[in-house]
Amino acid sequence: MNIPFVDLQAQYASIQAEIDAAIQEVMAHTAFISGRYARKFEAEFAAWLGVEHCVSCGNGTDSLEMLLKVYGVGPGHEVIVPAHSWISTAECVNAVGARPVFVDTHPQHYTILPEKIAERIGPATRAIIPVHLYGLPADMDPIMALAEQHGLVVIEDCAQAHGATYKGRKVGTIGHAASFSFYPGKNLGAYGDAGCMVTQDAHIATEARKLANHGQLVKHEHHFPGRNSRLDGLQAAVLSAKLPHLDQWIARRQEVAAAYTHLLEDAGFVLPQVPADRTHAYHLYVIQTPGRNQLQAELKAQGIATGIHYPAPLPFTGAYKELGYRETDIPNCAAYTPRILSLPIYPELTPEMVSYVTDKLKAKALMAG
């Protein structure tokens, strides 16, 4: 059996008529840059999420950077970010001229630790970017309390967590603003790069919309030097066609995750842990195991594709080594990154495929034990 890590072909096949019709409509109207289809998707996504304002843009990385700029973060400032995330979370801070401050993460939830945030807040701190990594919300109440206490901005990084909830609230509705990515493999993905910014604040939304479109709301009325980060019509139409399926897709991901957890509970792996006050959207299903690299190679030989998200803490990568972080600064993150392995998880994964994956994993664990 061959099991890909992500299967976008299977997803397309399940909704091909809707996708093709949406693309053909854009072609017929030649509304390729921003315009009616971007505005339509913005309204739909805002309603689905439960926010007042959604501003689409070119990608998730841009959305983080632009939100930092709109909130006035720049040179001489610091932004607190998790040590374990995709690099976009940190490089957006560098892009505005500020300095990322890396904080340790929970050993089984993989999200930023509020008590460690408190230790790193200083006079130059201006913002916190909690990442709802793999689809599990960060512990937002203490983070928001710290932000209130110190006058900081909280920008949620929801790139992997569309539809996840924290105490009954969808991620993206808790902080001052939030970033979403619609990279093709995400729970809600375009057929190219795409992203958005969401907020309840009308002023922030207006400034973000200007920034994403050359500093203008009306053509040729440039209020400040902006940039070109606009959602194209084709991607907007694809996202609008997919959005009605998102809740069902998330529910199916949760079913697959529950099956993995049930079938692997006695196999000796560290499995995902979900606090009772949160729901996991399962963009990724991540286990911990010794001998990770060997296990990954053996699974590949059995036709099972896996991933590593991510192989090293951000401050240990070449991009940030000069900051001088040590393992003692981020002990949890440093300990689990050599052990994490992402299993295939997507709505189209069949029970037979799940059983095949878990059977091979249990066999490898038995041999290793």
User: How does pLDDT run across 201-234, given as a tens digit for each residue?
Assistant: 999 999 999 999 998 888 889 999 999 999 999 9
Domain boundaries, the chain: 8-244, 246-368
pLDDT value at 368 more than 70 = no
Q: Confidence class of residue 34 from pLDDT cuts 50, 70 and 90?
A: confident
Q: Confidence class of residue 364 from pLDDT cuts 50, 70 and 90?
A: confident
Phi, psi for 59 (deg, rounded to 5): -170, 170
Please tell me the predicted confidence (pLDDT) of residue 65.
99
Same fold, 8-244 and 246-368: no
> By the 8 A CB rule, do 176 and 153 touch?
yes
Which amino acid appears at position 262 of this protein? H
Task: Compute the distance between CA of residue 77 and CA of residue 239 in angstroms, rounded to an integer.
Answer: 35
> By the 8 A CB rule, do 157 and 130 touch?
yes
For residues 315-326, give the mean pLDDT: 98
Query: Which among 130, 76, 75, 73 has a CA at the least distance from the CA of 106?
Result: 130
Mean pLDDT of the chain: 97
Q: Confidence class of residue 369 from pLDDT cuts 50, 70 and 90?
A: low
Question: Which one-letter DSSP state was computed for residue 5?
Answer: S
Q: pTM, whole model, 2 decimals?
A: 0.97
Task: Compute the distance between CA of residue 73 and CA of residue 93 in angstroms, rounded to an integer.
Answer: 8
Please tell me the predicted confidence (pLDDT) of residue 366.
65
Least confident interval from 188-192, 222-226, 326-330 = 222-226
* CATH code reported for the domain at 8-244: 3.40.640.10
For residues 290-298, give the mean pLDDT: 96
- CATH class for the domain made up of 246-368: alpha beta
Task: Compute the distance between CA of residue 76 and CA of residue 99 in angstroms, rounded to an integer.
Answer: 7
